[in-house]
């Protein structure tokens, strides 16, 4: 039978039972739409994570002391006291591929300004921190190395802190806040950064000179971590190697011995985050695929019913010369039409749903050509796969048995 | 009035009787249905030759094997044993697909229950056999189908659906479908079985006209008067041919139709 006639016959028999055809199609429509929407959400979140992480600066390195294992018991990372300010100074002097480096200590504190108070993180760092993290001062100035030398009680704060202690848009520069009862003078306010990839508010932080936090607030002699930037992104491996060499030497570790610190780069973190969201995408898409599978089973079910119902028609067609393959093709094309049309509608619906999700929930969504192509191919494959068995069943009928069927 | 077939071989339609001209030649045809432990011997060794231009009625009581025989002749079913030559070609060894092609090119089959595709116009029903023939263009398909509908007097109803046609008209569409592929033989299993007298006459009139044009026709009927419109009657009994006789004075359906009083109830 010619393709044109086959298509005509298939369309006719599908339109004979419009409601049934639509309901069968609905399974595929919902399946494809959910796959498209899930992939869009997954892809969208992955892209936004990537873009946010790259705004942090792609050439940033973090150096943590390795969780010390004392007597076989691993301690929590950061509890090690092996990293000192001298380590930081040595690194600053001896690593040509490192542009900036700052020691870092962190604590949390109760912030009080007149009658308002707020709890936040307090970071103790060198002024180079602003260059490394690419933080811009909106009003006022950052503190200086002199402030660090004198352990001055000054700080730079984020917008969230200004809002909560002084009110939205208030001018906080020059005002004094008490952090754990110690008065700090605000020298500058950081430009708003919003949430980071992990949902943390990046404007909810106090940045103070390193020695101020280390000595006055924490009263410790070691440093918790270091933050550095390589001169360029290409120099990250070189910077990593230099830092490793210097730190191992200072900690009297041979080149073959395990380091007692970890260096993490921004791209490590980005990769980890991307991998997580990839897994999430795959998970979402697999769940959605199950509904596509159920849709396919729906097609098979209806096609089986249809073959039984139309046994006589098959008999008539065979009696005038239809061969097994003609009948097979006819039913296969019907199944394929259902799944293809369902797939197309599903793609449209999926794009619509993604857009609605993007607007209502303000989630980032990205629809890729690949996901559309994949859904399209997948749904036609489902049509052929689940249409095959009923079609073959029809094709194998004997003409006389089919004609006799009541 | 009836002469024994064995007595005198009458050359059908005045042609010679060479064996290779025989349209249908069956020898020792056996068909046994097995239903569990029970064997039903529907055909117990049937021998028959049908020549070009013949118009044969197959008669016999219900269950005597007429339909079984016709289905095998129509390549809708295969015999358990025996040989069957259709238009000189051995059919007994063909595959399912080859049988389908044979049905498509050489056979026209008419059923008692019409067997038209529902919600499909008369024209498209007639076109159906040609759709399974790749060599035929859409245009030729249409032309030939319209011509076939014309031959059964239904050219004006080509766009009607089967449920808009009377039983007699549906059967005429089925006959048009059976002749559209220019078959070597038209096989009809009780074509008038579901029809009243007048409509039966109309159907027989069409068959007679087609036979006059030289088309070979075999019909099954258990009604003696219907058989009277054919040229030869073969009678089945218990899966065997009991007798085969030439019809002495063939009745003429057109004339009898003209004598019938006009009756509006005829159209179902
Ligand atoms: N598909 C079948 N399965 C089993 N027995 C059958 C089948 N078809 C026909 N028969 C039997 O074969 C015999 C001949 O049937 P059939 O050819 O239909 O007779 P007729 O058409 O002369 O009435 C009957 O006894 C019938 O019951
Ligand atoms: Mg019968």
3-state SS string over chain A? CCHHHHHHHHHHHHHHCHHHHHHHHHHHHHHHHHHHHHHHHHHHHHHHHHHHHHHCCCCEEEEEECCCEECCEECCCCCCCCCEHHHHHHHHHHCCCEEEEEEEEEEEEEEEECCEEEEEEEEEECCHHHHHCCCCEEEECCCCHHHHHCCCCEEEECHHHHHHHHCCCCCCCCCEEEECCEEEEEEEEECCCCECCCCCECCCEEEEEHHHHHHHHHCCCECCEEEEEECCHHHHHHHHHHHHHHHHHHCCCCCCCCCCEEEEEHHHHHHHHHHHHHHHHHHHHHHHHHHHHHHHHHHHHHHHHHHHHCHHHHHHHHHCCCCHHHHHHHHHHHHHHHHHHHHHHHHHHHHHHHHHHHHHCCCCCCCCHHHHHHHHHHHHHHHHHHHHHHHHHHHCCCHHHHHHCC
Which tokens is A239 given? Answer: 């910077």
Instruction: Look at chain A and report how many structural domains it folds into.
Output: 2
Q: 3-state class of B9 per DSSP?
A: coil
A75 domain residue, yes or no: no
Interface with chain B: mutation pick from A310, A311, A321, highest number of B CBs within 10 Å: A321
Rg for chain A, CA atoms, rounded = 33
Beta bridge partners of A262: A64
Is the Cβ pair B96, A324 closer than 8 Å? Answer: yes
Any residues with Cβ below 6 Å from ligand 1, and which?
B 33, 35, 40, 42, 60, 62-68
Cβ atoms of A117 and A128 within 8 Å: the answer is no
Taking only the tens place, the pLDDT of each residue in B75-84 is 999 999 999 9
Positive or negative: CA dihedral B100, B104, B105, B106:
positive
Quote the pLDDT of residue A215: 92
B249 domain residue, yes or no: yes
Quote the pLDDT of residue A60: 87
Res B15 pLDDT > 50: no
Q: pLDDT band for position B8 (50/70/90)?
A: very low
Res A112 pLDDT > 70: yes
Nearest to B26 by CA among B67, B66, B81: B81
Structural domain range at position A394: 3-52+272-404
Quote the pLDDT of residue B4: 40
Q: What percent of chain A has pLDDT over 90?
A: 52
On chain A, the residues whose CB falls within 8 A of the CB of B76 are 318-319, 399-400, 403
User: Count of CB atoms within 10 A of residue B26's CB?
Assistant: 24
Res A69 pLDDT > 60: no
Quote the pLDDT of residue A66: 79
Quote the pLDDT of residue A333: 94
Distance between Cα B39 and ligand 1 center (Å)? 11
Provide DSSP, B32-73: EEEETTEEEEEEEEEEEEE-TT-EEEEEE-TTSSHHHHHHHH
Quote the pLDDT of residue A71: 47
Cα separation, A75 vs A303, in Å, equals 63
Res A200 pLDDT > 80: no
Q: pLDDT band for position A76 (50/70/90)?
A: low
Quote the pLDDT of residue A275: 82
Q: pLDDT band for position A80 (50/70/90)?
A: low
- Greatest Cα pair distance in chain B: 54
Mean pLDDT score across all residues of chain B: 90
Of the three residues A236, A259, A282, the one that is the final residue of a domain is: A259
Q: Which of A62-76, A111-125, B2-16, B112-126 has the lowest mean pLDDT?
A: B2-16
What average pLDDT does range A203-211 have in this prediction? 93
In this structure, the answer to whether residues A102 and A231 fall within a common structural domain is yes
Quote the pLDDT of residue B6: 39
Quote the pLDDT of residue A196: 65
Q: Is A48 exposed, middle or buried (0-12, 13-18, 19+ CB in 10 A)?
A: middle
Cβ atoms of B229 and B251 within 8 Å: the answer is yes
What average pLDDT does range B178-201 have in this prediction? 95
Question: B245: distance to nearest CA of chain A, Å?
Answer: 30
Res B12 pLDDT > 90: no
Which tokens is A389 given? Answer: 């068995």
In this structure, the answer to whether residues A30 and A91 fall within a common structural domain is no
Is the Cβ pair A325, B97 closer than 8 Å? Answer: yes
Q: When comparing pLDDT for A296 and B233, which is higher? A: B233
Quote the pLDDT of residue B268: 44
Cα separation, B161 vs B159, in Å, equals 7
On chain A, the residues whose CB falls within 8 A of the CB of B71 are 400
Which tokens is B112 given? Answer: 């008692």
On chain A, the residues whose CB falls within 8 A of the CB of B105 are 321
Strand pairing class (A176-179; A182-190) = antiparallel
B4 domain residue, yes or no: no
Quote the pLDDT of residue A82: 81
Chain CA centroid to CA A155, Å: 33
Q: When comparing pLDDT for A52 and B102, which is higher? A: B102
Phi, psi of A31, deg, nearest 5: -60, -50
B165 domain residue, yes or no: yes
Which tokens is A160 given? Answer: 């969230």
Is the Cβ pair A322, B132 closer than 8 Å? Answer: yes
Strand pairing class (B55-60; B81-86) = unpaired
Res B265 pLDDT > 70: no
A148 domain residue, yes or no: yes
Give the containing element (helix H, strand E) for B128.
helix B122-131
Chain CA centroid to CA B66, Å: 12
Question: A345: distance to nearest CA of chain B, Å?
Answer: 28
Cα separation, B221 vs A266, in Å, equals 92
Is the Cβ pair A323, B132 closer than 8 Å? Answer: yes
User: Count of CB atoms within 10 A of residue A309's CB?
Assistant: 11
Quote the pLDDT of residue A46: 80
A201 domain residue, yes or no: yes
Of A4, A312, A320, the CB nearest to B128: A320
Mean pLDDT score across all residues of chain A: 87
Q: pLDDT band for position A270 (50/70/90)?
A: confident
Phi, psi of B118, deg, nearest 5: -75, 160
Cβ atoms of A172 and A184 within 8 Å: the answer is no
Q: pLDDT band for position A282 (50/70/90)?
A: confident
Q: pLDDT band for position A254 (50/70/90)?
A: confident
Give the containing element (helix H, strand E) for B148.
helix B138-151
Of B117, B119, B181, the CB nearest to A316: B117
Q: Could you identify the atom of ligand 1 that is nearest to the CA of residue A404?
A: 1
A63 domain residue, yes or no: no
On chain A, the residues whose CB falls within 8 A of the CB of B134 are 2
Instruction: Look at chain B and report how many structural domains it folds into.
Output: 1
Predicted model pTM: 0.73
Cβ atoms of A45 and A280 within 8 Å: the answer is yes
B189 domain residue, yes or no: yes
Taking only the tens place, the pLDDT of each residue in A368-378 is 898 889 888 98
Partner B, chain A 10-39, Cβ-Cβ below 8 Å:
12, 16
Quote the pLDDT of residue A115: 84
Q: pLDDT band for position A364 (50/70/90)?
A: confident
Taking only the tens place, the pLDDT of each residue in B108-162 is 999 999 999 998 999 999 999 999 999 999 999 999 999 999 999 999 999 999 9
User: Count of CB atoms within 10 A of residue A64's CB?
Assistant: 17
Taking only the tens place, the pLDDT of each residue in A221-247 is 999 999 999 998 888 889 999 999 999
B64 domain residue, yes or no: yes
In this structure, the answer to whether residues A229 and A298 fall within a common structural domain is no
Q: What percent of chain B has pLDDT over 70?
A: 90
Taking only the tens place, the pLDDT of each residue in B205-234 is 999 999 999 999 999 999 999 999 999 999
Dihedral angle over CA of B126, B131, B136, B140, nearest 10: 30
* A1 near B CB under 8 A: yes
Dihedral angle over CA of B87, B92, B95, B98, nearest 10: 10
A277 domain residue, yes or no: yes
Is the Cβ pair B109, A2 closer than 8 Å? Answer: no
Res B16 pLDDT > 50: no
Chain CA centroid to CA B40, Å: 25
* A327 near B CB under 8 A: no
Phi, psi of B150, deg, nearest 5: -60, -40
Ligand nearest to the CA of B190: 2
Cα separation, A186 vs A205, in Å, equals 12
**Which residue has its alpha carbon closest to ligand 1 atom 25?**
B63
Taking only the tens place, the pLDDT of each residue in B54-76 is 999 999 999 999 999 999 999 99
Q: Is A280 exposed, middle or buried (0-12, 13-18, 19+ CB in 10 A)?
A: middle
Beta bridge partners of B1: none
Quote the pLDDT of residue A269: 75
* A7 near B CB under 8 A: no
Of the three residues A259, A284, A306, the one that is the final residue of a domain is: A259
Cβ atoms of A223 and A62 within 8 Å: the answer is no
In this structure, the answer to whether residues A97 and A146 fall within a common structural domain is yes
The enclosing domain of B231 has a CATH number of 3.40.50.300
Of the three residues A259, A282, A307, the one that is the final residue of a domain is: A259
Quote the pLDDT of residue A199: 65
Partner B, chain A 35-64, Cβ-Cβ below 8 Å:
none
User: Count of CB atoms within 10 A of residue A400's CB?
Assistant: 20
Of B100, B119, B120, the CB nearest to A321: B100
Is the Cβ pair A5, B131 closer than 8 Å? Answer: yes
Quote the pLDDT of residue B9: 41
Res A68 pLDDT > 60: no
Give the containing element (helix H, strand E) for B110.
strand B107-110
Cα separation, A120 vs A206, in Å, equals 7
Quote the pLDDT of residue A67: 62
In this structure, the answer to whether residues A253 and A286 fall within a common structural domain is no
- Greatest Cα pair distance in chain A: 104
Taking only the tens place, the pLDDT of each residue in A17-58 is 899 999 999 999 999 999 899 888 888 888 877 776 666 666
In this structure, the answer to whether residues A114 and A224 fall within a common structural domain is yes
Which tokens is B198 given? Answer: 């007048």
* B162 near A CB under 8 A: no
Q: What percent of chain A has pLDDT over 70?
A: 93
Cα separation, A263 vs A63, in Å, equals 5
In this structure, the answer to whether residues A238 and A93 fall within a common structural domain is yes
Quote the pLDDT of residue A179: 93
A351 domain residue, yes or no: yes
Which tokens is A49 given? Answer: 């994570």
A266 domain residue, yes or no: no
Give the containing element (helix H, strand E) for B104.
helix B96-106
In this structure, the answer to whether residues A100 and A207 fall within a common structural domain is yes
Q: Which of A22-31, B165-174, B256-265 has the lowest mean pLDDT?
A: B256-265
Structural domain range at position B93: 21-259
Cβ atoms of A264 and A61 within 8 Å: the answer is yes
**Which residue has its alpha carbon closest to ligand 1 atom 8?**
B68
Is the Cβ pair B104, A325 closer than 8 Å? Answer: no
* B115 near A CB under 8 A: yes
In this structure, the answer to whether residues A247 and A348 fall within a common structural domain is no
Chain CA centroid to CA A294, Å: 28
In this structure, the answer to whether residues A236 and A151 fall within a common structural domain is yes
Q: What ipTM does this complex have?
A: 0.90
Res A104 pLDDT > 90: yes
A350 domain residue, yes or no: yes
In this structure, the answer to whether residues A251 and A287 fall within a common structural domain is no
Q: What percent of chain B has pLDDT over 90?
A: 84
In this structure, the answer to whether residues A255 and A291 fall within a common structural domain is no
Q: Could you identify the atom of ligand 1 that is nearest to the CA of residue A401?
A: 1
Cα separation, B225 vs B114, in Å, equals 21
């Amino acid at each position: 039978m010619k393709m044109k006639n086959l298509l005509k016959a298939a369309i006719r028999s599908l339109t004979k039972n419009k409601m049934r055809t639509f309901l069968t199609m609905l399974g595929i429509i919902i399946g494809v739409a959910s796959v498209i929407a899930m992939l869009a959400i997954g892809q969208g979140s992955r892209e936004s994570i990537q873009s946010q992480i790259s705004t942090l600066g792609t050439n940033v390195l973090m150096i943590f002391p390795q969780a010390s294992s004392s007597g076989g018991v691993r301690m929590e990372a950061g509890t090690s006291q092996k990293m000192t300010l001298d380590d930081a100074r040595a690194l600053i002097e001896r690593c040509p591929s490192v542009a900036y480096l700052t020691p870092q200590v962190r604590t949390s504190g109760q912030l009080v300004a007149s009658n308002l108070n707020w709890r936040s993180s307090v970071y103790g760092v060198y002024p180079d921190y602003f260059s490394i993290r690419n933080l811009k001062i909106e009003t006022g100035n950052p503190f200086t190395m002199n402030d660090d030398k004198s352990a001055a009680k000054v700080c730079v704060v984020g917008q969230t802190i200004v809002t909560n202690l002084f009110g939205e848009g208030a001018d906080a520069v020059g005002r004094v806040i008490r952090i754990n009862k110690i008065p700090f003078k605000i020298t500058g306010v950081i430009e708003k950064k919003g949430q980071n990839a992990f949902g943390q508010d990046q404007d909810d932080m106090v940045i103070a000179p390193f020695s101020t936090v280390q000595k006055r607030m924490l009263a410790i002699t070691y440093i918790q971590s270091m933050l550095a930037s390589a001169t360029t992104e290409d120099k990250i491996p070189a910077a990593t190697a230099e830092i490793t060499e210097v730190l191992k030497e200072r900690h009297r570790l041979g080149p073959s011995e395990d380091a007692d610190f970890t260096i993490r780069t921004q791209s490590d973190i980005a990769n980890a985050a991307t991998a997580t969201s990839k897994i999430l995408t795959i998970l979402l898409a697999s769940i959605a695929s199950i509904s596509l599978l159920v849709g396919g089973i729906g097609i098979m079910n209806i096609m089986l019913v249809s073959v039984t119902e139309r046994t006589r028609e098959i008999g008539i067609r065979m009696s005038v010369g239809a061969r097994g393959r003609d009948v097979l093709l006819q039913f296969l094309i019907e199944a394929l039409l259902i799944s293809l049309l369902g797939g197309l509608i599903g793609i449209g619906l999926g794009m619509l749903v993604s857009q609605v999700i993007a607007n209502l929930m303000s989630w980032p969504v990205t629809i890729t050509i690949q996901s559309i192509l994949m859904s399209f191919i997948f749904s036609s494959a489902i049509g052929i796969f689940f249409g095959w068995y009923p079609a073959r069943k029809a094709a194998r009928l004997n003409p006389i048995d089919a004609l006799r069927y009541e | 009035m009836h002469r024994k077939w064995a007595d005198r071989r009458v050359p059908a339609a005045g042609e010679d009787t060479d064996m290779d001209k025989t349209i249908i030649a069956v020898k020792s045809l056996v068909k046994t249905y097995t239903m569990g432990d029970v064997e039903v011997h529907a055909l117990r060794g049937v021998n028959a030759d049908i020549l070009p231009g013949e118009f044969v009625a197959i008669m016999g009581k219900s269950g005597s094997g007429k339909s079984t025989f016709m289905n095998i002749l129509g390549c809708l079913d295969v015999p358990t044993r025996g040989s069957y030559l259709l238009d000189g070609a051995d059919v007994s060894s063909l595959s399912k697909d080859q049988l389908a092609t044979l049905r498509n090119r050489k056979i026209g089959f008419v059923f008692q229950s019409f067997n038209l595709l529902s919600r499909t116009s008369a024209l498209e029903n007639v076109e159906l056999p040609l759709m399974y023939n790749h060599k035929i263009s859409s245009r030729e398909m249409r032309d030939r189908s319209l011509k076939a509908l014309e031959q059964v007097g239904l050219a004006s109803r080509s766009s009607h659906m089967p449920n808009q046609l009377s039983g007699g008209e549906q059967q005429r569409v089925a006959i048009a479908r059976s002749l559209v592929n220019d078959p070597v033989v038209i096989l009809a299993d009780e074509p008038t079985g579901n029809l009243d007298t007048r409509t039966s006459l109309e159907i027989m009139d069409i068959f007679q006209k087609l036979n006059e044009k030289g088309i070979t026709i075999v019909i099954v009927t258990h009604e003696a008067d219907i058989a009277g419109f054919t040229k030869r009657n073969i009678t089945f009994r218990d899966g065997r041919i009991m007798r085969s006789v030439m019809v002495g004075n063939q009745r003429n359906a057109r004339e009898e139709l003209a004598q019938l009083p006009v009756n509006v109830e005829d159209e179902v």
